[in-house]
Each structure stands twice: as C-alpha cells, then as structure tokens.
Structure 1
Amino acid sequence: MCLPSKTTIDPVVCEIHSTNISRQFNLLRSMDESVSQTIHCLTTNIERAMIKENKLNKRRQKKPAKVTSDIEKQIIVVELFDDNNNQPIDENEINKNAWFNCRRLSINGQSYTVIKFRFPEKILTNTITTAFVEIDYGQYEYSLFDLYVTDDIETKENDHTQWIHVYRGLFCIFNDEHVNKCVHLVCLPRNNSLREGMQTETISKTRIIQYPFYLPMNIRHELTKEYLPIGSKSFRLVSYNILANGYASSADAAKTIYSCCSQDYLEHDYRKALLLKEILGYHADIICLQECDASFYQRELSLVLNQYGYLGDMKIKSDSMREGIVIFYRTDRFVAIGNYNIKIGEYLRYSEQLEYIRCRCSLVSEINTHLLERNTVLQ
C-alpha cells in the first residue's frame, strides 16, 4: 500500500482542564520522524498556548507579572496508545510504523481517537455492505475508502497476501464470485480542504457468504423495478417496522418471542443487509420506518439512503429508548417545508383538544397511567 508522505491529525481540539483553553493544534509531521520528536512538538505547542493564555488572563485581571498560575505549573503529558493492548507506543518508533498500530492519542488523560473501524460479522453477496468507520478529524464525503478481497490471508510474520481491489467507496455490493473471500478496507481520512490524514486499514473477521436466493421480497420487487417518473401524479410510499436491534438481541427475544427463528438471522449485521436491499428495492418516493435504532440511522442508514437520493428525519422515543421513527423522501420529487413531531404521552397530558379524552381515561387509573406513559411518537 502507498502511504502519504506526512502523517496528519487534523485538527486536534485540546481542552486543558481548569483553564479556558480549547483550541486546535494541527499536527503535520514527517513519516520518518520518531514518535518522541512528534510528541515533543505537540507538547511544546500546547505549553506555548497555555503560557499565552496565562499572560492574557494576567492582563485582564491586572495581576503582577511575577504571579505564577496553575496553568504554568501544569505538566503536559502526551502519549500514543495501541488500542489492541492499551499500551503506550514505543517513542523510538518512527511515525510510519507507530501510527499503523496507534488508534488513540492521549493528552493529560484526555483521549483523541483518530479512527475506528467495525466490519459487520455477516457479509452477504448482492447486498449493500456497510462498514462502520468513525472519523473524528475528517469527513466521510471527502475521505477515500478502498475495498480489497483475497482467498487466503498469510500470517503477519510472512505476510505475502495478494489483495484484489474491487471497489472504491464506503458502501460495496459484493458479487457471487466473492463468496468465501476475506475483505480488506483501507481508509484515507480527509477533511473538506482535502487535507489527508494517516491511511488506516482493517480486515474482516469473517468471510463473505452467499445471499439467500428465495426470499419474499424478490417477488414483491418484481412489481417495483423502477422509480415513478418525477412528473407523475402518483407517489409510492413504503412503511416498515424494522425491529430495533435492542429488541431482537434481548434475552427474551431468542427464547420466547422469536424462538422459532435461528439466532443467526436475528443478528443485526445479517438483518441490516437484507433490510437495505428490501427497502431500496421498492424504489419508493417516501419511506416510513418504525423501531429504527438511532445508531443505525446515524452511522449507516442515512448515509446509504443519501447516496440514493433520499433525505430523512428521525424522532427518538426517549433518551432511555434509543429507537424511534424515521421518514425519508426522494429529493428529486419532494422538498421539506417543515416538520412536526409529537409524543403521544405528552400530547395526551397537555393538549387542550384532548381534554375530554383525559377526563374519560382518568376514570380508570390503569388506563390513564398506561396512556400518559406511552413513548409512542408521531411524525
């Protein structure tokens, strides 16, 4: 793999405790420089910022110059950590080697994660494969993602693995020829000025498996092979309860509610691939989803559907229940002019229009309590 000539953390936003300092420190260092030199540079920059802030504070407070504040006394400790074993990186290492293992920069105990990967446990052919990639100091739309496949992975001591490039982009649809292959994802994080960070990579823990051919959605998709014309007087709406992962993965789910369903099919990584395929296969103008996980919406669903011309809005039931309802719409047919969300319990409790219903429900305490505590939401 080709590596950029510089390693960049762009930017590091450092907050010094017990001070008002919160600023960006751009770290652009040579790949062949030692970690100790890089750490020394960053430490010096932070210390200079603290001294400058201290002087400004003295001027504001009109204190004598000889007064030494806690800011000047504070020691700055900068370390790089290997997330695999949570041990500090050897400072004698050069940046080129250190940053491949390093995923976390620590400044006085405050962690700054450069990038995180998570590949799905189940990777199916003929469905959209989404890898969760968390980039703290870059942006998805400007970053580069390359996917490779191979039949065999050599050991690290004798790594001569031959990777075949199959796709550039965060989302990929693997073909039948890729069955039983391992996947290698390489990410080059970039920001909106196309400034590049450190290239990072990960390998899937499992191999690609065959997509199940005989599914009810295949028959339904025969009726919705294309989008309705933009100028059509009709529109197509799809509404779907996609079963929040919190419910599907609960202890009662496998034993009681879905006892007839194999645990493999309840796994979110397996279900989400089929959900994306089914939802997109209807070529809908408006998509309404219930029991959608907030994390799934933010990290994957909205990103994928945006690529297919949809915009969405989500309403979460409550802070304790991180799932809710979502509406997506085709941007080439609709324009959002506003949104309105209500929680049934709150609406029943305070709405003047529902005064009569409240009075009737109050006659039966069990019903009254049940209705007022409902987390159901409407969009």
Structure 2
Amino acid sequence: METNKLYIRNLENTDDINIKFRYVNKELNVDRDFSFCRKKYEPVFKLLTRIQNNVEKEIDKCVNKRSKRRSTAEQISKTLPEIKIEIYQDECNISSNETTLAELLQNNFSGVKLLVIDQIFDIVLNQPWVDLLQLPKCMLAGCLIYPNKFQIQFAAPEHCSGMWFKSTQLEAISTKWEKCGEGLTYQVAQEDVGHYMKLAVTPRNKEGISGPMAEDISKCVVQALPDELPFQIRHQHTVNLLSEPSSIRVVTYNILADLYADSDYSRQTLFPYCPPQSLQIDYRKQLLIRELTGYNADLICLQEVDQKIFDVDLKNVLEMPPHNFYGMMAPKGICSEGVSVFFRRSRFDLLSSHVLHLGKNIPSLSIFEPLWNKIKANEQLAERICNRSTTLQICLLKVKETDKYVLVANTHLYFHPDADHIRLLQIGFALTYIEHIHKEAVKEHNITDPKNIGLIFCGDFNSVPECGIYKLMTEQFVDKHSIDWSSNLEEAVVDVELAQPFKMFSACGTPKFTNFTTLFSGCLDYIFCQQDRFELLQCVPLPTDEQLTAHTAIPSMYFPSDHIALIADLKFNAIS
C-alpha cells in the first residue's frame, strides 16, 4: 500500500465507509496499516478521534519496544511530536465541525486531505481493491494453484494482474523471494517442491485504473505429487482433443462434495481408511482439476459439486484459456451442492437450459399427472418423493459446423438403500420431462430430421444394473411386477408400469465398480446415449481392482473421490 494515501471505499447501497491508510515514521519505528469501518452519517470529528487514539497506542507500543529501561522511554517520550490528526477541505480545517462523511462523499471527497502528525494524506475514493486474498492450504507439484479466496471491489478479475514468488524460508528479515510466474494461476513445477509460495495481486478495473497491491504467503510448502496417479494412465487414452465435428468426448463424475467429506462421520465411518489430509478439499480439488483437464473432454457432467468449488475452482480453471468451457450449476434445493454441466465453447452453442427439482414440482406439472395420479393416494410414498431435493439439469446444445443437436441431461438420484422405488419413479418423471423438452426443441429449432438431435443422459443414478432404471433406459419399459416397486413395503408402488421413447445404451457398459468404498462397491454411474443417434468410438478403461484396493478403497491420496470418472468418445451416426 502506498504511503501518504488514504483509501476510502463505500459500496453502493451501504452505509459503511471503509478507511485504510499506512503510516510510516522511521524515527519512531512505526510502520503500520490502520483500518476503520465507520457509518457515513458519522461526524468527521468522531473519526478523527478514533484515528488519534489508534495512532497514539501504536506509537506508545513502538516506543516501549525500543526502550529497555524506563528512563529511556521517558527520554524518548519527551521528544515525541505532537500527535495532531486533522482533516482539511480546500485547505480549510473542518476537524471540529459537524460535517459528516456522507457530505464529503457527495463530492467524492474532492479537495479533502488528512493530516497525521507530520504527514499529509491524499484521499482516494473507491480505488480498485483486494478485500481478501488467501492461498490454498495444500499445494502439489504438477497441479494448478490459485487463490482459495479472492474478493475484490471496484475491480474485475480479468483485469487484475498477479506475480508469483517462491522461497525456501519464511524468516521475515532474511527471506529471499524468487519470481516464478505471472497471472492469477500458477502451474506448480517439480522444482518448487519444498518452497513457500507468495502471490502479489494488483487490482485493476476495465478503465485500467490500479489499486494498491495485496499479497499472501502460503502457510505450507509445495508437496510432491504421488507417483503415477491412476488417472494419469487413463489420460494416455485422451491425449488430444477430438477433431471430428460430429464426435463428442463425454465425462461424467461424482466428485464427492466437501459437504459430505469434511465431517467426523465421513472420517470415522464412511472413509476411515483415507488419511485425513487426503480428504481435505484443498488436496482433493487439485487432483480433480488435473484429472478433469487431462481428459480433454467436450462435455463434462458432474455430481456432488459444492457451490463454492463450482464458483472458485471449476469455473476459475475450466472457463479460462486454454480450456474455454462454459459451466452451469444446478443446486439441490437449498443444499450447497448440486450438479453441473460444462461444455467446450469451441464445440457447442448453448440454445437453452432447464433445471427441474424432482420433488416439490412433481404434483404441480401437468405432464406428470398420469404418473402422479397413480401414486398420490399412498400418502407416505407421496410425501417421501415430494420431499426429495433431487435435481435434473438439462441443456440443449448445437454442435458447431454441423446440423446436429445434443440434448444433455444430468442428475444425481436419491441415495437411500430402501428407495429403489423412489429412484425408479424419479427417473420416470425425469424422462417424461426430457421428452417434453425434446419435443419443444424439435419444434422451436425446426429440426426436420429427428436423427439430428441426440440425447445423452449422465449421472450418478445410485442404481446397479440389476435394478429397474437400467432396464427402463436400455429396454424402454418396466412392468408392474418389477421388484423395485417393493423396496419399501409401506411405500410399495402398485399397478404402475413405465415406458419411455428413447432407446438408450450405456456407453461404458456395466463396469464392476464406479463407486468403491469399504461399505459399498458397485456400478452406480452411467453415460446413457441414444442408440440410434450415436456410435461408441471408445470407453476409456477404468482403474484396475489392484489400483482401487491399493489403499483399501477410495477416496485415497491417489483418488480424489469415492466414485470413478466415466469417459466415452461418441460420434453421431451417419444418416442413411
């Protein structure tokens, strides 16, 4: 922060005035930032009194530090300058009148200066400002790092600049910082292992006006990445982006929300085999980002996405060059996690997006009436399904350079072990809604050949292949005798059959595991695709049993989630 400048910030529609300045007096050994938050209708003289009290305390503290004996302190105090704090407007002293900060604010503090002892401070109003800057608690070589928290005012991230430095020590006096990068993100190198990192950010607005630099130093050193992570082996199958316009690489991945990983229950019951540091989100998210970017996907569907991880991490990395995705988040009701879709902007145009909460909306949508009328008489069943926060996310994408359209659906169905009937009903309602959106898309965008629009339905369906969901998706029909309807006898579904119009196949088949913990392991995740629209080019091989069990189960220091990402390369069928 520059000396002899007093920074004042007042956000729109607030009464708070934030004030900050740095006072340096080498003779008194004073070098400190002073910060105040006052109400704008407060008289100026009250602010000056507060400033004077704080400056006096700081000077007294510095004098006492220099004094080893009381007599020395007394000698120094006799030579102290008068602590005069005054404010001037157009060279007129207004320190003692009733002028308020709000009145000065009306004129943008024009002509206003502050006198602190022997120094005059110019007033700078609403300068670009870094309000909060914090580096992650864990940094891994080979991964991308960026601020964990980055809050700015009167500035835009894309106009801010950053410089990265590293050092092997943190002693304030002797620390030597070596510049190692520029920008707000930094790709940590192997030679950075054992170093502390420092990020210095200069905030800037679109007009090019800069504010005072802010910096943060990491609390830990860079760690080495574990050797040969399993996803690095999978990356060998996705080295390059797909170049054919009609081909699409799809990823679906339940990334394990921090909401569920960061608790005593998860550490002691769900994942007791996973070292606590490997469960921390600052560790896991670096692996997740590296894993996702290495798949070179065109379309990414994620489940259990924390809102904060979406905003701060996924968007911050995936939407920036060289990846240039566009991301959409659909929270699960009032829950702080949900599902999200990212698509590569160089491949697709977004035509529409929809979010449906498969709970409270079930009784209110007319397209659901036929199925709802068959189950609503069972009050316990009706209450249970309507109280769910399950979310269905849909987006319609136009494939660039082609006449093809992709209808993408993404969901994470209810998890409870006795809820096969709930999940089957949820997928029934979901497919009804998808069919409705599909018909609207064909009509609105004048898609004359239905084979030019294909459905891809991704997610964590919390359903093994033996259950009704897989049958409904691949065979288009589930009869009233399905065992799923009786997974909870008090809520048993009676005389209900489900049918749907999309002939689907599972792009990655039915692998032995897509979820692997000590409490449960099985296939719960799928990339379902329309069979008469897409052909499968490749399904990226899944991790081996040996890799999954190397540290008992997952998550582990090698796997950032309890689920495994599914990756499939698809291609639109040629129209005959």
Report the TM-score, using the length of structure 1 for normalisation. Answer: 0.74
Partner of 1:376: 390
Partner of 1:66: none
- Pairing 1:139–2:142 present: no
Match of 1:329 among 343, 349, 359: 343
1:310-366 superposed Cα distances (whole Å, 9 cap, x missing partner): 1111111122x1111111111111111111111101331212222232233224333
Asked if the contact 2:130–2:214 (Cα under 8 Å) also holds between the matched residues in 1, the reply is no
1:210-236 superposed Cα distances (whole Å, 9 cap, x missing partner): 01123210111000011111x431110
Asked if the contact 2:159–2:203 (Cα under 8 Å) also holds between the matched residues in 1, the reply is yes
Instruction: Quote the Cα distance in structure 2 between the aligned partners of 1:234 and 1:342.
Output: 28
SS in 1 for 2:206: coil
Alpha carbons of 1:194 and 1:93: their partners in 2 closer, same or farther (altered >3 Å)?
farther
Asked if the contact 1:4–1:198 (Cα under 8 Å) also holds between the matched residues in 2, the reply is yes
Higher helix share: 1
1:232-265 superposed Cα distances (whole Å, 9 cap, x missing partner): 3111011111111111002211111112211111
Match of 1:362 among 359, 371, 376: 376
Instruction: Quote the Cα distance in structure 2 between the aligned partners of 1:150 and 1:93.
Output: 37
Partner of 1:58: none
Partner of 1:344: 358
Instruction: Quote the Cα distance in structure 1 between the aligned partners of 2:208 and 2:277.
Output: 41
Any unmatched runs of 5+ in structure 1? 53-90, 100-104, 106-111
Amino acid corresponding to residue 373 of structure 1 in structure 2: N
- Pairing 1:309–2:324 present: yes
Superposed displacement of residue 121, structure 1: 1.0
Superposed displacement of residue 369, structure 1: 1.6
- Pairing 1:249–2:262 present: yes
Partner of 1:47: 103
Partner of 2:136: 120
1:267-298 superposed Cα distances (whole Å, 9 cap, x missing partner): 00000000000111100001111111111111
Where in structure 2 are the equivalents of 1:11-26 lying within 5 Å? 12-13=10-11, 15=13
Instruction: Quote the Cα distance in structure 1 between the aligned partners of 2:251 and 2:341.
Output: 10
1:39-59 superposed Cα distances (whole Å, 9 cap, x missing partner): 87798663245699xxxxxxx
Asked if the contact 2:4–2:120 (Cα under 8 Å) also holds between the matched residues in 1, the reply is no
Instruction: Quote the Cα distance in structure 1 between the aligned partners of 2:328 and 2:141.
Output: 29
Asked if the contact 1:31–1:95 (Cα under 8 Å) also holds between the matched residues in 2, the reply is no
Alpha carbons of 1:93 and 1:166: their partners in 2 closer, same or farther (altered >3 Å)?
farther
Alpha carbons of 1:136 and 1:305: their partners in 2 closer, same or farther (altered >3 Å)?
same
Amino acid corresponding to residue 296 of structure 2 in structure 1: H
Partner of 1:81: none
Superposed displacement of residue 113, structure 1: 8.0
Amino acid corresponding to residue 142 of structure 1 in structure 2: H
Instruction: Quote the Cα distance in structure 2 between the aligned partners of 1:5 and 1:13.
Output: 23
- Pairing 1:235–2:291 present: no
1:115-151 superposed Cα distances (whole Å, 9 cap, x missing partner): 2122111100101112121112311100111110011
Any unmatched runs of 5+ in structure 2? 26-32, 35-50, 52-84, 109-115, 394-576
SS in 2 for 1:348: coil
* Structure with larger Rg: 2
Superposed displacement of residue 206, structure 1: 0.6
SS in 1 for 2:216: strand
Superposed displacement of residue 176, structure 1: 1.1
Percent identity between matched residues is: 27
Alpha carbons of 1:289 and 1:375: their partners in 2 closer, same or farther (altered >3 Å)?
same
Alpha carbons of 1:92 and 1:15: their partners in 2 closer, same or farther (altered >3 Å)?
farther
Match of 1:175 among 165, 189, 192: 189
Report the TM-score, using the length of structure 2 for normalisation. Answer: 0.50
Instruction: Quote the Cα distance in structure 1 between the aligned partners of 2:129 and 2:382.
Output: 48
Alpha carbons of 1:287 and 1:32: their partners in 2 closer, same or farther (altered >3 Å)?
same
Alpha carbons of 1:6 and 1:304: their partners in 2 closer, same or farther (altered >3 Å)?
farther
Superposed displacement of residue 13, structure 1: 2.3
Superposed displacement of residue 301, structure 1: 1.4
Instruction: Quote the Cα distance in structure 1 between the aligned partners of 2:378 and 2:346.
Output: 49
1:166-186 superposed Cα distances (whole Å, 9 cap, x missing partner): 110111111111111100110
Amino acid corresponding to residue 143 of structure 2 in structure 1: T
Instruction: Quote the Cα distance in structure 1 between the aligned partners of 2:383 and 2:118.
Output: 63
SS in 2 for 1:337: strand
Instruction: Quote the Cα distance in structure 2 between the aligned partners of 1:40 and 1:203.
Output: 38
Superposed displacement of residue 32, structure 1: 8.0
Amino acid corresponding to residue 175 of structure 2 in structure 1: T
Partner of 2:177: 163
Alpha carbons of 1:210 and 1:7: their partners in 2 closer, same or farther (altered >3 Å)?
farther
Instruction: Quote the Cα distance in structure 2 between the aligned partners of 1:29 and 1:370.
Output: 57
